[in-house]
Structure 1
Amino acid sequence: MPLLKKINQVLIMLLVLLACLLLHSSLKSSTQLKKAYRQSHGLTADLPAEEAETDDVVPVIICASEERTGATMATINSIISNTDSNVFFYIVTLRDAVKIARTYIEKTKLKGIQYKILEFNPMVLRGKVKPDSSRPDLLHPLNFVRFYLPLLGISHRRVIYVDDDVIVQGDIKDLYNIKLKAGHAAAFASDCDLPSTHEMVRSIGMQTTYMGFLDYRKQEVKDLAINPNHCSFNPGVFVAEIKEWKKQKITKQLERWMEENFRQNIYSSAMAGGVATPPMLIVFHDKYTALDPLWHVRHLGWSPDARYAESFLQGAHLLHWNGPFKPWNDPAVHSDLWERWFIPDPSGRFTLTRPGSGS
C-alpha cells in the first residue's frame, strides 16, 4: 500500500507538471499568434509593449517618415513642453527610418521622453491604394497608419493620434480627457466649427463638405445616402476609444472602402482631401464626437499668403499645417510658431528651407 501511494503521488505530480507545460505552451502560442497577426497586418514593435502599459499614461501615436522626421520631433517637443502629464509616444515609421528616428531622439533634448518605435509594413496596403499623381505625398504608406490603431500592439483604453505637421500649444492631457458620446469610437474636429476657420476656408477655396471628398456620380456613393453638403471633418488629429473601435470593426470597414475605391475610384487626391480622409468620412459619418475647435486649428498649410490673426493663433491649443505649404519649407505662413519647437537634426538630414538659405 505505501508503494502504491507513492506511485499515485508521483503520477499526480507528473500530471500537474504536464498541465503546467501545456498551459505555458498555449500561452506562448497565443502570444506568437497575436504577434504574427500584427506582423501580417504590417505592424511590428521595436520595443516590448509592456513598457508603456500603465493607467496614468497619455498615449500619443505619431508617424515619422524618413524625409519628415524633423517635423515629427518638433511635434513631440511641443507636446512635452506644454504638459506635466506622463506622455508615451508610439512613433510609427518604415524600416528605413527606424534608426534615423531613434538617433534623432537619443542625441537631442528628447532623449528623456518615453517612447516606442513601431515599424509599419506597407505591404498591408496592397490592393487598397492606387497611384495618383496629383499629390503623391498623400499616398505615403504612413498616411494610413491611423486606420490600424488596434493592431499597434498597445493596450490603452484610448489613444491620441496626431499628424506630423502639428504643433501642440495646450496641455495634451486636456485633449486626452475629452468625454466621448456613448457608442462613438473617435472624436474629430468638424470642418464647420470656427468663424475664423470659415474666413480662411473662403479665402483659399478649401472644401468643408462631403462633396469635396467623394464622387457623387458613382452609385456606391449615392447608396450611402449622405448629404453632399454635410460638414466634413479632419482626421489629422483625433482621440480614439480602442475598445469601441474594435467592437465596431472600424479597421475592417476602412479597408473595405479602400478596396472599393481601388476598384471603382469613388474618391481621389485630385479632390479636396486625398485618399486617407474619404474612408474615415464614410465610416464615421454621424458617429463621432466633436472636438473643441481650438484643439484643431487647421488649414495653415493651404496657402502661402492667407493668414490667421496672431491673437487667434496664440489662443489655439493645437495648430495644423495641413496642405502643401509646410512650415519647414518656404513659402509658408506662421512658420515662426512652428520653428520655436524645431530641434536641429543631429544627422543633418532634415533642414529648414528659408529665404536666402540656399537649401
Structure 2
Amino acid sequence: MRDSARRRAAEFRRPSRRRWLSVWWGSLWWLWLLCGSLGVLLLLVFLLGHGSGPRLTPPLNPQRPLNLTEGVIEPWSTFEQLAVQMSLAKTLAVVAKESNNLQLAWELTTQIRSSQALLSSPALPPVMVAAELDAAVRKMGLLLQKARQLNYDGAAAIVKLKARVQTMEENAAAEKEKSTRYGQIAAEELPKGLYCLGIQLTKEWYQRKGPIAAASVPKLTNSKLQHFCVFSDNVLATSVVVNSTVVNAEHPERVVFHLVTDTVNYAAMRAWFSMHSFRGAAVEVQNVDKFTWLNASYVPVLRQLQDSGTRSFYYSGGAAAGAKVEVKFRNPKYLSMLNHLRFYLPEVFPSLEKVVFLDDDVVVQRDLAPLFTADLEGNVMGAVETCMETFHRFHKYLNFSHPLLRAHFDPDACGWAFGMNVIDLKAWRKHNVTGIYHYWQERNVDRTLWKLGSLPPGLLTFYGLVQRLDPDWHVLGLGYAAVEEAALHRGAVLHWNGNQKPWLKIGNERYKPIWNRYVDFSHPLIQQCNVH
C-alpha cells in the first residue's frame, strides 16, 4: 500500500510538463536571438537617421507663413541655405562697415571665409559634412540675427547700397569728366618743340624775308592745275600735308597749295615754305586777318563771338546760364575763323573752279589727281560718308527736338566727314551755299540747333548737295580709334580726327610712324628745337 502510494505521489509531480518546456526552449533559442539582433539594428538605424543626419527639408508649420529672411536665419538651414546666407552676409558686411560697425563687419567676413572653406573642402564622410554644415549655418544665422537687430535688414541694406552705388557713379562721372578735360588740355596745348620751331622760323623770316618766286605766281590762278587748300596755325602739320601730297603725286609740278593761317603764325609759315621746294609744287601762304571782307557785318559767326552769352558759353562752360557744357565743345578751334573759313571758299579763291580741301591732321598716301576729274553729278561737294554706325547720322550732331530741324531734315540721314573734300566752286556759287550757311548760323544764335563746331552746320548747309566718294579716298579714326591694317594700306588720305594727334605725346604710337615719314627730322631747326 505504502509503495503504491509513493508511486502515485511521484506521478503527481508532472514531469512531462518540464520535459515539454525544456524541449521547446532548446529547439527555439536561435529565434529569440535573431529577434533581439533585429531590434538592436532597428534602434541604431532610428538613432542615426534622426540624430546625426542632415535635414535638408525644414519642418513645415502651416500656422506660420514662409519668410525668406527668417528662413535664412533659422539654424536648421543647410547647404543651400548656407550659400544664401553667405550672399546676404557679404552685403551686410559692407553695410556694417559703412555704418562704422567694424566688429560686426569683421565677424561676418570671418564667418564668410570659414563657410567658403567648408564648401570648397574635399569630400568628407556624410556624417562629418552634415555636422559641420549645421554648425556653420547656426553661427551664420546668429550673426545675421545680430545684424537684423541692428536694423541691417534687407530694406535698409538696399537703401544704403543704392546710396553707395549713386556715390560711386557720381565719382566715376567726375573722374571721367576730369580725364576728358585733361585730354582736351593735352590736345589743345602746343608741344614745346613746335612752339620753339615757330619762334625760330619767325626770327628767320624777319631776317631774310622775300616774295614768292615769280614762276609760281601764274600757277595760283590757273584752273587747269590741281589746287589744294589747308587752313591751319600748325606749321609742321601743314608741312606734312604738303610734303605727303607732292611725294605721292605723279605730277607734283601741277600741284598748287593755298595755305591760310593767322597773324601769329604767318611769318613762321612763310619762312618754312620758302626754305623748301616741295618738288616743284607751288605754295601760297595767306593771312586770314587780312581778308577785309571777313567782318562781323558779313559773317554771323563773328557777330556771335562778340556776344557775351557765346563767350560765357565757351569760357565759363555756360555757368552764367546755369547750364553745364561738355568739355569737348569748349575747344578753341570752334572759336577760330580758320575753322569756319571752309564755308567761304568762293570768297577766298574767286578765280578757281575746283579745289580739294584738306585738314592739317591728314597724311596723303596716293596721287589725288583723279579727284579733280571725278564727276560730282551736279553736286557741290564730294565726301566720304560715315554712316556705317548709327552714331554718325544726323541725329547725333543735331537737336531734332527742334521743330525747324524736324520739318526739313531726316534724323537718320547719313553723315559725312570734313578733312578731305572735293569742292566744285561753280556749283557752290550756283546754289549760293554760303548764303545757306548764313541762314542756319543765324537760326542758331541761342545754340538750340547744335552746339559749337563746323560739322553740324556743314551737314545742314550741304544737305542734298554731297556726292558720295569711295571710302578708300578718306580713312578716318586714327586720332581716337583702332583702324584695320588693310584700311591703312588702301587709304588715299589718312585722317587723325580726334584728340590723339600724331605730333602730341598722347598720339597713338601705332600710327605715328606714318606721319613721321614725312617730317624732315634732319632739318637744323627741327633738331635745334628737339622735335620728335
Q: Is the 8 A contact 1:104 1:347 kept in 2?
A: no
Give the equivalent residue in structure 1 for 2:405: 221
Residue 240 of structure 1: SS of its match in structure 2?
strand
Which residue does the alignment assign to 1:340?
A: 517
Pairing 1:190–2:358 present: no
Aligned Cα root-mean-square deviation (Å): 2.6
Aligned twin of 1:21: none
The structure 1 residue matched to 2:354, chosen from 150, 155, 158, is 158
Q: Secondary structure at the match of 1:234?
A: coil
Conserved in 2, the CA contact under 8 Å of 1:61 and 1:160?
yes
1:117 and 2:285 matched:
yes
TM-score computed with the length of structure 2 as normaliser: 0.50
Match of 1:34 in 2: none
Opposite residue 242 of structure 1, the aligned amino acid is L
Residue pairs, 1:169-188, within 5 angstroms = 169-182=365-378, 184-188=379-383
Report the equivalent of 1:299: 477
Q: How does 1:135-146 map to 2 (within 5 A)?
A: 135=328, 136-139=331-334, 140-146=336-342
* CA distance in structure 1 between the partners assigned to 2:460 and 2:225 by the alignment: 31
Secondary structure of 1:78's counterpart equals: helix
Per-residue CA distance 1:107-146 (angstroms, 9 max, x = gap)? 2453843021122137444124544353414312211111
Give structure 1 stretches of 5+ with no counterpart.
1-45, 193-197, 270-274, 355-359
Alignment CA distance shift 1:260-1:341 (3 Å): same
Q: Label 1:78 to 1:220 Cα distance change in 2 as closer, same or farther (>3 A).
A: same
- Matched AA of 2:364: V
Q: Is the 8 A contact 1:180 1:187 kept in 2?
A: yes
Pairing 1:330–2:509 present: no
Q: CA deviation at 1:160?
A: 0.5
Give the residue type in structure 1 aligned to 2:265.
Answer: A
1:276 CA displacement: 0.4
1:211–1:172 Cα change, 3 Å: same
Q: Could you tell me which amino acid in structure 1 is paired with residue 352 of structure 2?
A: H
Q: Is 2:295 the partner of 1:127?
A: no
Q: Which amino acid aligns with 1:190?
A: E
Q: Are the counterparts in 2 of residues 69 and 350 from structure 1 also a CA contact under 8 Å? A: no
Aligned residues: 286
Corresponding position of 1:30: none
Gapped regions of structure 2 (runs ≥ 5):
1-210, 318-326
Asked whether 1:255 is paired with 2:430, we answer no
Hey, what's the Cα distance between the residues in 1 that align with 2:393 and 2:249? 34
Closer, same or farther: CA 82–258 of 1 in aligned 2, 3 Å: same
CA distance in 1, matches of 2:528, 2:353: 34
1:252 CA displacement: 1.6
CA distance in 1: counterparts of 2:375 and 2:446, whole angstroms: 38
8 Å CA contact 1:330, 1:353 repeated in 2: no
Q: Distance in 1 between matches of 2:490 and 2:249?
A: 16
1:20-76 residue CA offsets vs partner (Å, 9 max, x unmatched): xxxxxxxxxxxxxxxxxxxxxxxxxx97974422243100010121xx211111010
Structure 1 or 2: more strand by fraction = 1
**1:251-307 CA distance string (max 9 Å, x none):** 1211222222223431114xxxxx1011110121222101111111012112xxx42
The whole-number CA distance in structure 2 between the counterparts of 1:286 and 1:164 is 27
How high is the sequence identity, in percent, across the aligned residues?
Answer: 24
The structure whose RCO (Cα within 8 Å, separation 6+) is larger is 1
